[in-house]
Amino acid sequence: MKVINCPLNGPRNAQEFICGGEVKLPPAPDTTGRGPDVRQWADYIFLEENLQGVVCEWWCHVASGYWFIAERDTASDTFLRSYTCQEWFGQAAPGDSAQ
């Protein structure tokens, strides 16, 4: 049985999760007033790098609806580490005293 370590729920059976794709930055905001670059947005939404090696991906624990980021080695399909969104993006969680 494959186990994924969820930052909220701890180690869980992999069948309880879905992958949301690789973590990547969205296209830069439109500053020209002409509207968004449709090709850039289409590439962002539909294209994946699909690299062999360590990648960072969005994962969702379906039962709780909790989204987090995991480092996974695609060559061995091994999960290396899990991050909360706050850890990854460097933000304090709502209600956190560090705000």
Q: What pLDDT, on a 0 to 100 scale, did the predictor assign at position 98?
A: 44
**Cβ contact 29:73 at 8 Å:** no
Q: Which residue has the tokens 């049985």?
A: 1
Q: What pLDDT, on a 0 to 100 scale, did the predictor assign at position 14?
A: 96
Q: What pLDDT, on a 0 to 100 scale, did the predictor assign at position 91?
A: 65
* Bridging pattern class, strands 54-61 and 17-22: antiparallel
Q: What pLDDT, on a 0 to 100 scale, did the predictor assign at position 92?
A: 53
Instruction: Read off the tokens for 38.
Output: 């449709």
Radius of gyration over alpha carbons of the chain, in Å? 16
As to burial, measured by CB atoms within 10 angstroms (0-12 exposed, 13-18 middle, 19+ buried), residue 69 is buried
Q: What pLDDT, on a 0 to 100 scale, did the predictor assign at position 1?
A: 83
Averaged pLDDT, groups of 10, the chain, 99 residues long: 94 97 86 79 88 95 97 96 91 50
Q: What pLDDT, on a 0 to 100 scale, did the predictor assign at position 54?
A: 95
The reply to whether CATH 3.40.50.300 applies to domain 3-46+54-89 is no
